[in-house]
Each structure stands twice: as C-alpha cells, then as structure tokens.
C-alpha cells in the first residue's frame, strides 16, 4: 500500500489510461475529467517518503485505511491553521509531516516517543 502512496501521475499517464479505457470499454470507460479528478484527489492525500516508509516497515507500524484517513484529516486541519511541519501523535505513534508537500518524513512508535525531542516542527496534532 505504501508504494501506491509514493506514485505520481502525469498528464501523459492519464491520457494513456483514458485511451486504454475508451478503446477497451468504448463509452463505458472513465472520462478524462474523472481520471484527472481522481489523480488530483490522490495528490492531496498524504504520502510517505522512502525514509518514512522504511521506518514504518522497520518499526512494525500498521498503516491502515483508518490511520491514513486520520493523518489526512490532521494534515488538513494543520494546513488550515498555516502549519508547515507538524507532528501528528496517535496511538500508533508519531508522524512528522511536511504540510506543503503532503509527505510523512519520518515516524516512530509510541514507545520510541518517550524521552525524545521533536525539532523543526511548528505544530502538533493529537489524534
């Protein structure tokens, strides 16, 4: 699932996908506008950097749809308040997120949070 989060979609990829859908399914395929809308929505979803993805795997943090939804909501709230770099703290652990890029830059478990200092953040969101 994390690999899907790191993908970016170009306009050329959308056109190719649109052409494949329309050539296979005729008018039943998704329209270009719908594909573009889906790609834009995906770009607004939080993604994991390679470093963060490695930490998630190393530390055995389960990234569920519920967690991703919570992270996206937290990032949205932080963005509304003008945050740039935020720590999102929940039961699964802490996630340091760069708001302008929607990227989780690192993460740690709740056990690892003890006795640690969070630097280079301007906001915190508790889940």
Question: In the chain, where are the structural domains located?
Answer: 2-43, 47-126
Q: What is the pLDDT of residues 17-63, one digit of tens each?
A: 656 655 555 444 556 666 556 655 555 789 999 999 999 999 999 98
Q: What is the pLDDT of residue 1?
A: 42
Decide: helix, strand or coil at residue 105.
Answer: strand
Write the burial class of residue 23 (CB in 10 Å: 0-12 exposed, 13-18 middle, 19+ buried): exposed
Three-point CA angle 32, 34, 37, nearest 5°: 110
Distance CA 6, CA 48 (A): 6
Q: What is the pLDDT of residue 4?
A: 43
Write the burial class of residue 126 (CB in 10 Å: 0-12 exposed, 13-18 middle, 19+ buried): exposed
Higher-pLDDT residue of 62 and 6 is 62
Q: pTM of the predicted model, to two decimals? A: 0.67
């Amino acid at each position: 699932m994390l690999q899907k989060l790191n993908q970016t979609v170009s306009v050329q990829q959308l056109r190719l996908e649109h052409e494949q859908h329309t050539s296979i399914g005729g008018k039943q395929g998704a329209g270009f506008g719908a594909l573009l809308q889906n790609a834009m929505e995906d770009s607004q979803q939080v993604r994991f950097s390679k470093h963060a993805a490695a930490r998630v795997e190393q530390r055995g943090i389960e990234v569920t749809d519920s967690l991703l939804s919570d992270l996206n909501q937290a990032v949205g709230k932080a963005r509304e308040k003008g945050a740039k770099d935020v720590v999102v703290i929940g039961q699964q652990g802490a996630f340091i997120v760069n708001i302008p890029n929607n990227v989780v830059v690192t993460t740690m478990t709740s056990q690892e949070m003890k006795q640690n200092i969070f630097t280079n953040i301007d906001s915190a969101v508790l889940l």
